[in-house]
Amino acid sequence: MTSTRRSAAAVLLALASGSALADSLDINLHDEAMRATFAHTVNPGTEWDVGHLFNDDNDSVTHVGMHVSGENWSRAGIFDIGLGGRALWVRSDADDEGAIALGVRVRFSPVHRLGIGGEFYHAPDIIAFGDAESYTEASLRLDYQVLPKALVYVGYRNIEMDFEGVSDVELEDDFHVGMKLLW
């Protein structure tokens, strides 16, 4: 087991032991990568999350995020919108650097139990540290609520970080399946 996988397992076990404090656990994976994210609602409309993504190439992205969120009702369905950001640490063969990525996440539910959503985070050079020039993460997903407190989904995610003097490092670019458990 690589050191990245050992550290991911340790983080997951430590966070799972305090899961009574978490409002959700989101795990997604494919053949070459896995991401786990724990989220906790501090008060209505404010959420903190911590997550870790790692892949077969020993690349990893660890983040701590904060979002202000809420629902917006329309005739077409329910929109759940979150605005905020993530402080993140990226580890790759090219370099190990950090950034503060600002972003948005949206989930639209046109009918009961079905959702379409996405996230976009970006850190330009001014808020990317060290040799990092930028960080960009974009994802889309289609989910279905199988139980009142459990969603399953299929999604696509692309994560890239640009380093000074190195071409773009693509940390993730693939489809994945996942589940989100709610407390």
In the chain, where the domains are located: 3-182
What is the rounded average pLDDT for all residues in the chain?
A: 89
Instruction: Say what the pTM is.
Output: 0.86
| Interstrand relation of 33-43 and 24-30 (parallel, antiparallel or unpaired) | antiparallel
For the segment 97-134, what is each residue's pLDDT rounded down to a tens digit? 999 999 999 999 999 999 999 999 999 999 999 889 99
Q: How far apart are CA 46 and CA 49, in angstroms?
A: 10
More confident residue, 75 or 129: 129
Contacts of 78 (CB under 8 A, 6+ apart): 71, 72, 108, 109
Q: How far apart are CA 183 and CA 94, in angstroms?
A: 39
CATH 2.40.160 for domain 3-182, yes or no, is yes
pLDDT more than 70, % of the chain: 88
**Tokens of residue 8, six digits:** 């991911």
